[in-house]
Amino acid sequence: MNISSNVSSIQAHQTLMNTTANNVANVNSEGYVPTDTKVVGDENSITTNVRKADDNGSKISQTDLSKEMTDQIITQGSTAVNVAAIRAHDEMLGSLLDTKA
């Protein structure tokens, strides 16, 4: 079992959470164009693609709070799953070392 993919997923989701937090913090900033983050991955690692969202020319903030809150819920769940996998790996390794001693 390799936990590097779990760690890279946690790091990618931290980037997503930081972006989401910044967008929410600027919800009342005039003309603010939010940053859009996509989590992408393969069988070995998880990364993020960060870009400015399309500017629609609005003078008010273009942040969509319903999208940002949904992203935060997904990020929280994904991080919890990865932490649980790392803990399970740690417990299995500890049990293996206990039987060897």
Positions of E strands within 1-101: 35-41, 46-52
**Per-residue pLDDT averaged across 42-61, rounded?**
87
- What's the rounded mean pLDDT across residues 34-61? 88
Q: What is the pLDDT of residue 45?
A: 80
Model's pTM, two decimal places?
A: 0.81
**More confidently predicted of 42 and 79:** 79
What is the structure's pLDDT at 1?
Answer: 57
Task: Please state the rounded mean pLDDT for residues 11-16.
Answer: 94
Mean pLDDT of 4-33: 93
Number of alpha carbons in the 13 Å side-chain half-sphere of residue 29: 10
Average pLDDT over every residue of 48-74: 92
* Angstrom distance (rounded) from CA 22 to CA 3: 29
- Helix (DSSP H) and strand (DSSP E) numbers for the chain: 2, 2
Task: Give the whole-angstrom CA distance, residue 92 versus residue 20.
Answer: 35
Task: Give the side-chain half-sphere CA count within 13 A for 14.
Answer: 8
| Domain assignments of the chain as residue spans, ordered by start | 4-100
